[in-house]
Amino acid sequence: MIGSILAAEFTDTEKWVVNSFWGVIAAVMIVAALRVVTTKNVVHAALWLVVVLAGVAIQFIFLGSEFVAVTQILVYIGAVVVLFLFGVMLTRASMGDDESVGEEKRTMAALVGVMLAVVMAVALVDTYGDDQLIIDEPQRVDEVSDAIFSQYIVPFEAVSVLLLAALIGAIVVARKD
Amino acid sequence: MILNQFLLLAAALFCIGVYGVLVRKNGMLVLMSVELILNAVNINLVAFGALTDDVGGEVFALFTIAVAAAEVGIGLAIVLLMYRNRRSIDLSEADLMKG
C-alpha cells in the first residue's frame, strides 16, 4: 500500500513525488471543506463533504492506517453522507438556498476561524518543527484488534452502549406519537 | 513526510469547521461542519499514533468514528423533529429557551 512507499530507503525523487501527491490531496481537501461551509445548496454541501471525507481516508493511508481508512470510507461515505442526504430529503424546506447569517456575523466568524488557525499553526510549528514521521510499514490490523479487545476493552464496551443508546434515542426522538 | 504537514492540515480543516458552525443557520449544514471538525481530530489522532508507533491513536480514531456516527443519528433525529414541529430547520428561530 501507499503507506509502505514512505519507507526511508526511497530516493529523493520518489519522496518528492509522494509529497507532491500529498500536497494535491491536501489542497483538494481544503477547497472542498471551504465549499462545504460556503455553498448555498444543501445537497451540494453534502457532496463536497464526500470529497473531504475521501481525502481524510487517503490521509489515513499516507499514515499507514489502512483499517481506519477503510472504516472511514464505509462509515462516513457509506452511511453518514447517505443519512445526511435522507435528512435533506425529509426536510424539504431546506432543499433550496440557505440564507446565511448577516455580513457582520460572517466577518466575525471568519475572524474567529483565522485567529484560531494562526494560534494553532504557530503552536504546532513551535512545538513540532520539522519532526520526521517515519512510517516503515502499515499498521497491522491484527495489532489493532488485539489492542481493542484487550487494552481498550472498557472504552470499546462504552462505545457499544453509546451506540445502543443513540439507536434507541434516535427512534424515540424521531417517531410520531 | 514531516508530522506538521498532517497537523497543519487538520488545524485548517478544524478552523473551517468552526467557521461553518458559526456562520450556518441551516441545522443540516451545521451538522456537516461538525463532521469536518471531528475528521480533523481523527487525522491528529492517527498522526500522533504513527509518530509514537502506538496503536492507541488508531483505536481512538475508530472510537471517534463510532461516536460521530451516533452523533449524526441523534442530530438528524433532532433536526427532523424540529422540522416537523415548526416547518423550518433555521437554527436562529429555535429560541424557545431564550431568557
Contacts of B91 in chain A (CB under 8 A): none
Domains of chain B: 3-87 (1.10.287.3510)
CA of residue A133 relative to chain centroid, distance: 20
For chain A, list the strands marked E by DSSP: none
Task: Compute the nearest-CA separation of B10 from chain A (Å).
Answer: 9
Nearest-by-Cβ selection for B4 from A34, A45, A131: A131
CB atoms within 10 A of CB A142: 9
The cell numbers describing B87, all together, are 416547518
Any CB–CB contact under 8 A between A143 and chain B?
yes
- Enumerate the H helices of A63-102 as residue ranges: 66-72, 81-90
Contacts of A114 in chain B (CB under 8 A): 15
Q: Are residues A80 and B88, on separate chains, in Cβ contact within 8 Å?
A: no
Nearest-by-Cβ selection for B89 from A22, A94, A128: A94
In this complex, how many residue pairs, one in chain A and one in chain B, have their CB atoms less than 8 Å apart? 250
**CA B16 vs CA A8, A109, B13, B28: distances in Å:** 33, 10, 5, 16
User: ipTM value of the model?
Assistant: 0.91
Contacts of the segment A34-41: beta carbons below 8 A, 24+ positions apart: A34/B16, A36/B16, A36/B20, A36/B32, A36/B33, A36/B36, A37/B16, A37/B17, A37/B19, A37/B20, A37/B23, A37/B24, A37/B29, A37/B33, A37/B36, A40/A97, A40/A98, A40/A100, A41/A96, A41/A97, A41/A98
pLDDT of A7 over the 60 cut: no
Query: How high is the mean pLDDT in each 10-residue block of chain B (99 residues)?
Result: 90 95 89 94 93 90 93 91 84 80
Any CB–CB contact under 8 A between A169 and chain B?
yes
Domain A2-138 classification at class level: mainly alpha
Nearest-by-Cβ selection for B58 from A67, A109, A135: A67
Chain A interface mutation, best of B14, B16, B51, B65, highest count of A Cβ atoms under 10 Å = B16
pLDDT of A96 over the 70 cut: no
Please check whether residue A173 is in contact with residue B77, taking contact to mean a CB–CB distance below 8 angstroms: yes
pLDDT of A53 over the 80 cut: yes
Residues 6+ apart with CB under 8 A from A166: B69, B70, B71, B73, B74
Res A29: pLDDT: 95
Domain range annotation of chain A: 2-138, 140-177
Any CB–CB contact under 8 A between A4 and chain B?
no
Contacts of A122 in chain B (CB under 8 A): none
Average pLDDT over all residues of chain A = 86
A128-145 pLDDT per residue, tens? 888 888 877 777 888 889
At A112, the pLDDT band (50, 70, 90 cuts) reads very high
Mean pLDDT of A114-137: 88
